């Protein structure tokens, strides 16, 4: 009886929260757990969550690779607004910051930013230039109705939006000593997995570009930009370059109608958004080293209460991740994205075709 009542209350709160949307500054995050990780079902967009990011064979870290590279080609298409030493660049629904400070001077302020916004960090590695929050809930999306205002004061933990969010921040060193900051969102939603509605599972939900923009705007304020100036800078949205899936020979590729520099940034943000585990990157060669979990893995996820009790975990029979290289190369005024295997040979497998489609879908 208690079990059924809990799911009844859960269903009610999910239904109520579905009516609320992100409006203005309605953001109030609270980490969903302290030390427990919400595992994600592996599929084309959700890869194995290994936070070690160890690179076999002693490969030099991404930030070390970035230091001392050849100067970037000027990007005449960049739509940017500069405020002091901070500017925001945009391409369609993608945004990133360029700050005239080295990574070492930005790491602590950016870390403090996420902690101040109610998150805990599950990954914090300056040598890779990556920090990632734990799964957290936007409590501001819970309706402030009569029931919540009375019972919620005592049983606040029983109220849930049925959604969780995670944000990855990537700080990439530029040859001139400045830093590019990318923020990517991943979301999960709790749904019933049977007609009886007696159990639930967590499933991926679409990336929310508006959340990414909002946190970039707030980060600009943290870095010293006046609030109104940051809001105005993040508002406009130029048309993104054309993207399409094609084949070159027998190899599936993504063709992007823009130069290497912007294509490199956009592909990196897409890999972060769609959950690829990026182990390393080499901008001079246009290569991202990633891990991928093939679809069809036999992993069954417990419901939300199972997570609270700390029973989330990877199945022992889970298919081990495969390693690939995602390559961005220049072709005249355009760029081409392809998939190589772990040894650097071109991939024409069905996995490669799926990865290309996932990348193209997010870039469009």
Alpha helices by DSSP H, listed for 223-348, are 227-233, 260-273, 304-308
Bridge-based pairing of strands 94-99 and 86-91 is antiparallel
Q: What are phi and psi of 243, to 5 degrees?
A: -135, 140
Measured from the Cβ of residue 297, the count of other Cβ atoms closer than 10 Å reads 18
Residue 303's nearest CA partner among 71, 102, 11, 106 is 11
Total structural domains in the chain?
1
Which tokens hold the place of 350?
């069905």
- Cβ atoms of 140 and 162 closer than 8 Å: no
Q: Which residues contact 258 (CB under 8 A, 6 or more apart)?
A: 77, 91, 241, 333, 334, 335
Burial class of residue 320 (count of CB atoms within 10 Å of its CB; 0-12, 13-18, 19+) = exposed
Residue 104: its H or E element? helix 103-116
Domain that holds residue 237: 2-363
Q: What is the pLDDT of residue 42?
A: 42
Burial class of residue 8 (count of CB atoms within 10 Å of its CB; 0-12, 13-18, 19+) = exposed
Q: What is the pLDDT of residue 226?
A: 93
Estimate to the nearest angstrom the gap between the alpha carbon of 184 and the chain centroid. 3
Q: What is the pLDDT of residue 301?
A: 38
Q: What is the pLDDT of residue 84?
A: 84
User: Which CA distances in Å does 44 have to 163, 203, 221, 276?
Assistant: 20, 13, 35, 9
Q: What is the pLDDT of residue 240?
A: 67
Q: How far apart, in whole angstroms, are the C-alpha atoms of residue 325 and residue 211? A: 29
Q: What is the pLDDT of residue 149?
A: 52
Against a cut of 0.85, is the pTM above it? no
Task: Give, as one character, the DSSP assignment of residue 35.
Answer: S
Q: Which residue positions in the chain have pLDDT lower than 70? A: 1-25, 31-82, 142-159, 236-240, 294-319
Which tokens hold the place of 39?
């595992």
């Amino acid at each position: 009886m208690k079990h059924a009542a809990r799911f009844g209350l859960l269903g009610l709160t999910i239904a109520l929260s579905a009516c609320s949307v992100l409006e203005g500054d309605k953001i109030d995050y609270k980490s969903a757990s302290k030390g427990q990780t919400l595992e994600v079902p592996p599929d084309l967009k959700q890869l194995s969550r290994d936070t070690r990011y160890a690179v076999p064979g002693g490969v030099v870290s991404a930030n070390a690779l970035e230091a001392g590279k050849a100067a970037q080609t000027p990007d005449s298409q960049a739509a940017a607004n500069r405020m002091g030493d901070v500017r925001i660049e945009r391409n369609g629904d993608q945004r990133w910051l360029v700050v005239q400070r080295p990574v070492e001077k930005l790491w602590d302020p950016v870390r403090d930013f996420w902690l101040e916004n109610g998150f805990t960090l599950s990954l914090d590695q300056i040598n890779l230039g990556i920090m990632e929050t734990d799964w957290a809930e936007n409590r501001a999306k819970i309706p402030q109705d009569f029931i919540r205002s009375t019972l919620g004061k005592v049983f606040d933990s029983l109220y849930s939006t049925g959604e969780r969010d995670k944000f990855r921040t990537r700080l990439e060193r530029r040859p001139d000593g400045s830093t590019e900051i990318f923020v990517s969102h991943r979301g999960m939603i709790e749904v019933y997995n049977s007609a009886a509605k007696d159990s639930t599972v967590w499933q991926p939900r679409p990336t929310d570009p508006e959340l990414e923009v909002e946190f970039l705007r707030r980060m600009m304020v943290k870095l010293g930009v006046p609030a109104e100036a940051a809001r105005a800078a993040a508002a406009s949205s130029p048309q993104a370059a054309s993207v399409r899936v094609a084949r070159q020979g027998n190899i599936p590729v993504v063709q992007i109608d823009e130069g290497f520099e912007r294509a490199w940034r956009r592909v990196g943000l897409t890999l972060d958004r769609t959950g690829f585990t990026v182990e390393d990157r080499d901008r001079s060669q246009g290569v991202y080293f990633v891990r991928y979990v093939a679809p069809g893995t036999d992993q069954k996820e417990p419901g939300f209460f199972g997570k609270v009790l700390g029973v989330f975990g990877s199945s022992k029979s889970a298919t081990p991740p495969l390693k690939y290289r995602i390559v961005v190369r220049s072709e005249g005024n355009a760029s081409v994205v392809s998939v190589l295997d772990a040894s650097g040979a071109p991939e024409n497998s069905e996995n490669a075709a799926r990865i290309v489609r996932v990348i193209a879908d997010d870039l469009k």
